[in-house]
Amino acid sequence: MKEVIEEFKDKKVLVIGDAILDVYIKGVTDKICREAPVQIINVQEQEYDCGGAANTAINLAALGAETCFLTVIGDDENGRILTNALREKNVSVECIIKDSQRKTIAKKRVVASSNILLRIDEGNIDPVSEELQLKLNERLSEVMNSFDAVILSDYEYGLINESSIVHLIQLKKQTNAILIVDSKNPAKFRKLHPFAVKPNYEEAISILKLPKLQNRDRVEQILENEKRLMDITGAHCVAATIDMEGTLLFEKGKSPYRIYTEPQDNKRSIGAGDTFISAFTLAVLAGADPRTAAEIGAAASAVILKKEGTVVCTTNDLIDYFNENPKYILRLEELILKVNKLKKEGKRIVFTNGCFDILHRGHVNFLNHAKLLGDILIVAINTDESIKRVKGEERPINSLEDRIEVLSALQSVDFLFSFEEDTSADLIKALQPEVFVKGGTYTIESIPEALLVRQLGGEVKILTSDIGLSTTRLISKIREAALHHHEENNYAKAIGLE
């Protein structure tokens, strides 16, 4: 998964759809109004986020894509706030069309103690004028060939109509861009034959004209209607998201595939579907098959469901999600954040580095004693390539993955990080540990990082190693024993005992 996610960068995606400004009016409430039996909210702050198709755009940008947003908004204050927010989140706004006759759609939520008490909606949701539709089509003709994928994020707020679809059908013949549909009514894009559509449960039963069911019955209901769903949408793939029941992926010529999800109790997270379709699209562009892409999309949704409000999932979030070892930190930025947070809590950081090729009693004792010098022990472990440079082509005996797994089992070790450089100087500059520890085979003069640690205000400690215990000596003993055993066998053969 990590390899796919790392390929998200620089993929070019155009988002076409309804822009919404999400506003959070946050405050506290401890009084009842005299004029009516309602709560009084003492407003403390207002937050502005990108909603609707704009949320899809910022999720794509957060995942590393070059993202452009094509939409129509009002030439008003809400439109200016939304445009600025998109720019700040690295979304190109060059294709946005402003119209003085329309009001930008805004959804204002009044929030107290993380609970939404009221939502106020404003803005135009009626169809755009013919003149604006022509402008949209012209702009789409100008830019579509520049993108790897086009996402139609349709909230049915008047932007994408039959004229848009007819125009897209013509443009599709002239481009290699894949088309992805995320719509309240995916059936209206049937003639476009998109690569994928992503209905949620309500959208799926709406186009199938089925009754609404509860819990696990919903999965069976959608499974039974796979063929109809594929026919009605005209898509190569259908990813039907069913809340706590996970996602059902239908693909032409293949059996249905179900992705299970961890139930989340978060009513404040908004736009999980936008996050899913963003990660799914980029995974497909990165070469993943639809099943893998859907797994990545579901993971991205799970990430934001642990957050509050209109939020995004980053590539770092996704890589962390698929990291099965919580002690092993994959990115230096994340380790720096963790260390800074721990320092603010008053924790003392101890740092050491090494190969830790074949873990033995000396290593365990060393790490236990190192942990006693502070509160948090970080172990930087040499990659296989860096060990070969220092120890020779026959080392390491154990791969980086194996060494990390073994070290993770030690209670003394809090975090692990791998590095390819000959020294850990760059890590020390970034983390600035209070204590840097090395084993008894070293002297202060022989430690290349010692001066740097002291310049940064840290201490250098040398812990006495168990005499006779080292990986090199252990390997020599094993080789000697193997050689002795081989010689004994040869002798036995020579005298006819074998």
Please state, as a whole number, how many other Cβ atoms lie within 10 Å of the Cβ of residue 463: 18
Number of H helices, E strands in the chain: 18, 20
What string of DSSP letters covers 92-158? E-TTPEEETTS---EEEEEEETTEEEEEEEES--SPPPHHHHHHHHHHHHHHGGG-SEEEEEE-SSS
Q: For 200, which DSSP code?
A: B
Structure tokens at 401: 């993955």
- 484's CB contacts (< 8 A; 6+ apart) are none
Taking alpha carbons only, the member of 154, 139, 187, 189 closest to residue 169 is 189
Query: How far, CA to CA in Å, does 360 sit from each of 51, 365, 436?
Result: 55, 9, 21
Taking alpha carbons only, the member of 306, 342, 335 closest to residue 321 is 306
Alpha helices in 305-383 (DSSP H): 315-322, 332-344, 361-371
Strand, coil or helix: 456:
coil
Q: Confirm if 66 and 72 have CB atoms less than 8 A apart.
A: no
Residue positions annotated with a catalytic role: 274
Q: H/E element holding 230?
A: helix 226-233
Strand, coil or helix: 424:
coil
User: 217-224 and 226-233 helices cross at what angle (nearest 10)?
Assistant: 60
Please state, as a whole number, how many other Cβ atoms lie within 10 Å of the Cβ of residue 462: 17
Going across the sheet that includes 349-354, the strands are 415-419, 376-382, 349-354, 435-439, 459-463
Q: For 328, which DSSP code?
A: B
Q: Confirm if 65 and 12 have CB atoms less than 8 A apart.
A: yes
Q: Confirm if 78 and 84 have CB atoms less than 8 A apart.
A: no
Q: Confirm if 281 and 60 have CB atoms less than 8 A apart.
A: yes
Q: Report the C-alpha gap between 281 and 298 in whole angstroms.
A: 12
Q: 106-129 in b/e burial notation, b at 16+ Cβ within 10 A?
A: bbbbbbbeeeeeeeeeebbbeebe
Q: Which amino acid is at 268?
A: R
Query: For residue 230, which phi and psi values (nearest 5 degrees)?
Result: -65, -40
Q: H/E element holding 435?
A: strand 435-439
Taking alpha carbons only, the member of 152, 119, 57, 156 closest to residue 267 is 119
